[in-house]
Amino acid sequence: MPNILVTGSKGQVGSELQELAGSYAYNFYFTDRDSLDITNKESIDAFVKNNSIDTIINTAAYTAVDKAEEDRKNADKVNHLAVKYLSEISKEKNIKLIHISTDYVFDGKNYKPYSEDDATNPNGVYGATKLAAEKAMQEINPLNSIIIRTSWVYSSFGANFVKTMLRLGKEKDSLGVIFDQVGTPTYARDLAKAILEILPQVKNERVEIYHYSNEGVLSWYDFAKEIMRMVKLECQINPIETKDYPTPATRPHYSLLNKAKIKKEFNIEIPYWKDSLDECLIILGERK
C-alpha cells in the first residue's frame, strides 16, 4: 500500500483529501506546519525516511496574496524553497510528487483560456513565488511528478469567497462585487478527487504541468449572484470594477484555465461549477 505524505493538511485541498482518504487504498500521513516544517530540508528528509514515504502531495502554500507583498521572505520560504526541498528529496529517493500551483503565475491579459505552455508573467509576490517553485521543480525534475495549476479555490473548510458571501449576505442588504475579473472557481473536493484518481496513472520522465478548475466561465459578481440565488438570500449584489476595490496585490483580470490536457491524458470528467457549488452549499447546511 502506497505511503502518501500530504502537506498543508489543514488547508482547503488538504482537508478535502482527509475527508476522502477512507475511500482509497492508500496509507496517508497528513501534516501541517506544526507536525512537519517543509521549509527545513532535514525535517522533510527524516519524515520521509521514518515513514517510508513513496508519494508526496504538496497542498501547503502561503496564500495570503495581499500580505505577501510585504512579506516576500516568508512567502518565498513556503511557496518556493519548500517545493525546491520536496523536489530534491523526491528525486533522491524516487518519490512521486504532486504539487499544487496557481493561475496567479499568469498576468491575466490573455483573451482565450490559458494552456499549460502559455507564457507566465505574475503580477505580484504570491504569483512570483509560486512560479519560482514551478521552475525549481522542473529544473530538479523528480521522476513521475506533476504540477497542477488551479484557481478560485473554495470548500466547506477554512476561509474562502463562498463562506464570506454567505456571512455578508446574511448581514447586509447589498454588496459590491467585482465583475471585471473572469475565471472559474474550483471546488477543493473536486480537485482532491481528481488528484487521487490520477495518482496511479502519473508516469512521466519530465515534470508535467496540468490545469484544473471546474467547468464554465464567470466573474466574481456572477459567482456571488449564484450563491445568493441558491441559498435564497435577499442581499442585492451590485457589480463594481477592480479599480473601485483597490488591493495591495494585483489580481489577474482573466484567468480561465484550459483543462483539455488533464482531461485527455487521465480520462477524467470535471464537474460544472454550479453543480459543485450546490454540493458545497448542501454540505455547509445552506441547502436541503
Using DSSP bridges, classify how beta strands 96-102 and 174-178 pair: parallel, antiparallel or unpaired: unpaired
Instruction: Say which residues have a Cβ less than 8 Å from residue 96's Cβ, sequence separation at least 6.
Output: 54, 55, 56, 90, 142, 143, 144, 145, 199, 202
- Residue where the block lists cell 473548510: 157
* Alpha carbon 28 to chain centroid, angstroms: 19
Question: Which cell is 88 given?
Answer: 530534491
| HEC per residue, 78-103 | HHHHHHHHHHHHHHHHCCEEEEEEEH
State how far the Cα of 92 lies from the Cα of 251, in Å rounded to an integer: 37
Find the largest Cα–Cα distance for the chain. 57
Q: Which residues are catalytic?
A: 126
Q: How many CB atoms lie within 10 A of CB 88?
A: 17
The secondary structure of residue 120, as a DSSP letter, is P
- Are 89 and 45 a contacting pair, CB within 8 Å? yes
